[in-house]
Amino acid sequence: MRDEKKILLVVQSILSFAMLLGFVACASATPTPERAPFPTRAQPQDHAHQALTDALAELEYDLMQARSLLVFMAKADAVRGESKSECETFIRKLLKTNPQYTQLGAATPNGILYCDSETRARQVSVADRLYFSRVISEHDFVVGEYVIGRVTLAPSMGLAFPILNADKSLRGVVIAPLKLSWLAQRFSEINIPVTGEMLVIDTYGNLLLRDPDATDWFGKNISETPIGNAMLTKIQGSGEFAGADGETRYYEFASPQAARKNLIVAVGIKK
């Protein structure tokens, strides 16, 4: 009987040892999970590049939307016809569904508005606007400069498209100035630090937008500032510059393709 108990104890010991060996083997075969790297603060270059990418994408979309609207207007019978009342009824309806523009209108080849979404008591000419001279020479969608509307008195960015005859000769010009207050609201959704700066300038160096504090900066010329001069001379680039407010930041800047170098966007991030 004692011998049987000894044999039973030996068997139990062997089984326990075998189970222990199996556990150790399984544990050693299981790879140790790698520790996730500790998140680091985004570098100014990375942050500026991402914010600039977002800003350019926003402008590309806004400009292509404007182009589609202007093409639609240029082909519309109401705009190409002889009835001023029909034309103005048509574009006023368009403006209600496109409130991002200060006004919509159509001008003769000499710049006189013959159709306007705004009620006015006098004849208005846009012949001296940069967008008008550009569309006359390029016969395509164009981006102009910072303007204050003669009828609306609102700060805007001039946009225009030609009305062409069948032989491609110029019949007129349709316009859709983009509200800078609306654009500022769109840009405010782009993520940058509170110490950062976003700029959009025309070819004169006039600010179409500065974020933050957009409304305080509309129309201010920054062509003589280090960042403004770099934007105007290089169109695309990066580096450390004193910004519109005099603060030094790392900036990246470029022009949206739809603007054909007539707008330049910059994003600056403090180090």
265 three-state secondary structure: strand
- pLDDT at 13 (0 to 100): 52
- pLDDT at 150 (0 to 100): 85
**CA distance linking residue 148 with residue 98, whole number of Å:** 19
H or E, element range at 216: none
256 three-state secondary structure: coil
Please identify which residue in the block is written with the tokens 């080849």.
109
- pLDDT at 84 (0 to 100): 93
**CA distance linking residue 168 with residue 212, whole number of Å:** 44
The model carries a pTM of: 0.82
Q: Please say whether the beta carbons of 218 and 155 come within 8 A.
A: yes
- pLDDT at 26 (0 to 100): 45
- pLDDT at 59 (0 to 100): 97
> CB neighbours (10 Å) of residue 264?
24
Give pLDDT < 50 ranges for the chain.
1-3, 5-11, 14-15, 17-30, 32-41
Amino acid in position 186: R
pLDDT digits (tens, 9 = 90+) for 7-30: 444 445 544 544 444 444 444 444
Residue 178: φ, ψ to 5°: -90, 130
**CA distance linking residue 9 with residue 197, whole number of Å:** 79
> CB neighbours (10 Å) of residue 215?
11
